[in-house]
Copies of this chain bind each other. A is one copy, B any other.
């Protein structure tokens, strides 16, 4: 199947019709970088969200959940970085609600049409005077052009080194539909602190329940494939808003262009997920693990995530060491029993290192050269079934340890 969408290189969350965004520094970060941002939709947007499975869910998630429960519609998402508003008890909930009311009032919209997200340090109360002062200035910072998208992207970063955006254009009912996204991650190799936030905007007309289904399906094969062991922070959240201003006939699973839209959405999520993996704390390279020939997709996912989550595999990738023994050891402890231990093939890029579970003599120089690149592809073929999956991660480096040895202080 050819691509049904066209990539928009400079696109961002304000590219779809109806969206504005903005960001500013209100004082939650110690530096002068932006730490408060908003995405605003001129019309009520059909909305959907996916939340962390961590039992200790941060206050903003509860509030966002309540908003969406009312009518599945959002006009705005308010985000702060620098403070996760997690493990902050009743006061934290009150603060998240105050953020929601504050931006609703400033923008003149109902508060139940506002989502709230936070990222940063856990367990500290928000400096609400700063947040409120920032909220008051946000409406005048809204912009429908690149600046708005850019300011918003800056505002959601914590230890991220680069902004993460994606945008595609496709045709639905002969109308141009744009899907865009922004994300922050960086937390770590497997994001398990108050880490990952993602925001998707589109001008497609799509009912909220279907948007919710599609968002979940896309998440399963993108954002959820950069996490390991179900590692999820207290704040992980992905929110999607569809303005409907493209003017297409509302999408349904029977719609002729449904597959194209779903594919575009998955692509946007995948770009953001890979960007998060590549920009993992201290990372020098992206690792992409593809597992094929498993008994089921589920088995393939478990194995791909175990490999990508192995500190040994990650360290070896950092050192450009073709240590396939660590890969096969990860396969063997992934909790998947339906494999044949005698039929495993492993490739690093195009270099075959294991065939039928036996080492293959390979060119060490070529392997070293390949592994020194900025992307390492690990291919595992179990030669056992038709299940497949792809997972993304990054290498484990000195800088990772340095950053996380003193994140809080």
Contact = CB atoms under 8 A, between A and B. Distances in A.
Interface of A: 53-56, 84, 86-89, 121-124, 188-190, 192-194, 229-234, 310-312, 315-316, 318-319, 321-326, 328-333, 335, 337, 339, 341, 354, 357-359, 364, 396-398, 400-409
Contact of A329 (B54, B89, B316): B54
A401 B357 contact: no
A315 B121 CA distance: 16
Q: Which among A122, A231, A403, A404 has the highest number of chain B CB atoms within 10 Å?
A: A404
B408 A398 contact: no
Contacts of A194: 325, 329
B316 A405 contact: yes
A299 to B, nearest CB: 12
A101 to B, nearest CB: 24
Q: Which among A88, A332, A409 has the highest number of chain B CB atoms within 10 Å?
A: A332
A380 to B, nearest CB: 13
A400 B358 contact: no
Contacts of A397: 401
A110 to B, nearest CB: 30
Contact of A326 (B189, B193, B315, B358): B193
Contact of A234 (B316, B323, B332): B332
A89 to B, nearest CB: 5
A324 B123 contact: yes
20 contacts: A55-B337, A87-B354, A88-B358, A89-B357, A123-B325, A193-B312, A193-B325, A229-B229, A229-B333, A232-B333, A233-B329, A318-B401, A319-B405, A319-B406, A319-B407, A321-B408, A322-B408, A325-B408, A396-B404, A400-B401
Contacts of A325: 84, 86-87, 121-123, 193-194, 408
